[in-house]
Amino acid sequence: MADNENNGNNEEQNQGPWQYIIGGLWRSPLGVFGVILTTISITLMVVGLALDLLGFIENTYANLFTYLVLPGGMLTGLAIIPVAAWLRRRQWNNFGISRDHLHINLSDKRHRKGVIIFTVLTVVNLTVLSLIAYEGYHYTESPAFCGKVCHQVMEPEFVAYSRSAHSKVVCVECHIGSGAEWFVKAKISGLRQVLAVFTDSYSRPIPSPVEHLRPSRDTCEECHWTDKFHGKKVKSIKHFTNEDQTNPTVTDIALHIGGRNPENDAFEGIHWHVSNGIEIKYLAADEKRTQIAKVSIKKADGSTDEFVKADLAIPAERADKWRVMDCTDCHSRPTHIYDMPEDVVDFGLGSKKINGAIPGIREDSFKVLTAEYKSRDEAKKNIGPALLALQSNRNPQLAATHKNDIEKAGAFLVEGYLNNIWPSMKVTWGTYQSHIGHRSEDFGNYKYADTKYGCFRCHDEEHSNKDGKTITQNCGNCHDEPK
């Protein structure tokens, strides 16, 4: 028995330094953990990558695990292995066991074999990591990652995006654009946002990122070329009233899209603001840019002018926050567009999803749509029955006769509510407004969250220059009647 133990000790003493370290990993709990973590992570990465590329997995969280969690596990395991080997060798020295310094002797068959194995494993690891990094990069740039990973937080914006005209445009093309600088900025900002989600310290509602958006010349104008904006566009606005639910008031108005007119080479209309060397800068008194204190204009000939709203105080911290006007100052929500309640009801009447022949259906629809609900589930459950109850109170017989139409209208109103309202995120009617146009701030009895939106932030006849001239509110600059 003693002889066997002596033989084992002698065999260990006769091992070379590489053999001792590599073999000793299996006697070290840390070394075993590193090897197992690396092996499991790379195996699951390969399996997950194959399933994703073959289309068997469409789950956002499965891809999150494959492209972000598992690579972290693999790299951690690979880092642990040399640490475990170093600790093992240090322990060996502490016992006074004298060994040669580590060296590679390619004339030694065992060393050559070890180098070959190490090279093959390194190539395999780098190949797998490269594929994962490539696919992971595209995954983190995808709308699914942006909108579904932090489901509750980004659900309002993702739903609005999914039903917009830009739903086929990848989020990062507008929010980041091309180039490494903004990519790095976005990822650093993303880490901050992830921390906010984990600590439940994120804003409710999520504020519009007006101060962090890249200039539109680097994003929007990759597709929309300002030099090609010209001519007119006729817009037809239909509006129903409680007194007439079947015959809408139709307003047809022509918008002077403007820009460079190719027929006379003049710059005109709405897009004059961003054409022909025009540079407009403004100073906002608030973060939302709804209160404009000063407007500075530099024309193509080099002349300048400044218009000031004298009664609007500028906070000290915003005194130097001038901004050059670009597309997003008007097109502030080109994708994440939310409706107002009257928009939903009037569209329902116009599309016949709400039967306008039912007396009082417009007023009742507006009431149930703008009622306060604690959750989306509560709204989904109560909007339809509430509409039927209001109609029954008006006329029980008519309500019974039109029950199917009222239930159909209720289902449409539920859809309209779920497309626009998230009580848990404090997103309600008017939380997010667009600066396109100059709609009235009063819709029936329901007020906007803020009242200063759109063109009239500047075009209010209240911003004046040193000569007393004001920024005009003349409708003819942008509109006329269609011919």
> What pairs with residue 421 in β-bridges?
none
Residues 389 and 360 in one domain: yes
Domain boundary among 140, 173, 192: 140
Residue 147 in any domain: the answer is: no
User: Does residue 107 lie within any of the structural domains?
Assistant: yes
**Percent of the chain predicted with pLDDT > 70:** 88
Q: Answer yes or no: is 211 within a domain.
A: no
Q: How confident is the model at residue 442 (pLDDT cuts 50, 70, 90)?
A: very low
- For the segment 104-128, the average pLDDT, to the nearest whole number, is 81
Domain co-membership, 133 together with 65? yes
Per-residue pLDDT at 414 exceeds 90 = yes
**230: helix, coil or strand?**
coil
Residue 8 burial by Cβ neighbours in a 10 Å radius (0-12, 13-18, 19+):
exposed
Q: At 6, is the pLDDT very low, low, confident or very high (cuts 50, 70, 90)? A: very low
Which residues touch 429 (CB under 8 Å, ≥6 apart)? 340, 341, 370, 420, 421, 446
SS3 of 278, please?
A: coil
Judgement on whether residues 31 and 131 belong to the same structural domain of the protein:
yes
Kindly state whether residues 257 and 390 are assigned to the same domain. no
Which of 43-47, 58-62, 384-388 shows the highest mean pLDDT?
384-388
Same domain membership, residue 301 and residue 425 = no
Peptide bond into 205 cis (omega under 30): yes
Domain of 356, in residue numbers: 341-429
Residues 361, 311 within the same domain: no
- Rounded to two decimals, the pTM is 0.77
Q: Domain tally for the chain?
A: 3
pLDDT computed for residue 7 by the predictor? 45
Average pLDDT, the chain: 83
Of the candidates 429, 415, 408, 440, the residue with the CA atom closest to the CA atom of residue 237: 440
Q: What are the backbone dihedrals phi and psi of residue 324, each rounded to the nearest 5 degrees, phi first? A: -80, 125
Domain end point (choices 140, 164, 184): 140
Segment 49-65 mean pLDDT: 82
- Tell me what the mean pLDDT of segment 449-468 comes to: 82
What CA–CA distances, in Å, run from 299 to 230, 271, 276, 457? 19, 14, 8, 21
Question: What is the band of 81 on the pLDDT scale with cuts at 50, 70, 90?
Answer: confident
Structure tokens at 190: 């993303």
Q: Are residues 469 and 397 in the same domain?
A: no
Q: Last residue of some domain: 121, 140, 159?
A: 140
Those residues whose C-beta lies under 8 Å from the C-beta of residue 416, and which sit 6 or more positions away, are 339, 341, 344, 348, 369
Is the residue at 452 inside a domain? no
> Does 76 or 197 have the greater pLDDT score?
76
* Type of residue at 270: I
Burial tier of 302 (Cβ tally within 10 Å: 0-12, 13-18, 19+)? exposed
Q: Which of 55-69, 103-117, 292-306, 370-384 has the lowest mean pLDDT?
A: 103-117
At residue 1, the pLDDT reads: 47
Confidence label for 270 from pLDDT (cuts 50, 70 and 90): confident
Confidence (pLDDT) at 87: 78
- Tell me the pLDDT band of 344, cut-offs 50, 70 and 90: very high
The pLDDT, as a whole number, for residue 398 is 93
Q: Verify that 316 and 350 share a domain, yes or no.
A: no
Residue 448 falls within a domain, yes or no? no
Based on the fold, state whether residues 422 and 468 are members of the same structural domain.
Answer: no
Residue 292's CB: how many other CB atoms inside 10 A?
A: 24
Query: Which segment, 95-99, 374-378, 431-435, 453-457, is predicted with the most confidence on average?
Result: 374-378
Would you state the pLDDT for residue 2? 45
* Per-residue pLDDT at 14: 47
**Residues 304, 465: contact at Cβ < 8 Å?**
no
Q: Which is nearest to 476 in space by CA: 228, 254, 271?
A: 254
> Looking at the structure, do residues 76 and 22 belong to the same domain, yes or no?
yes
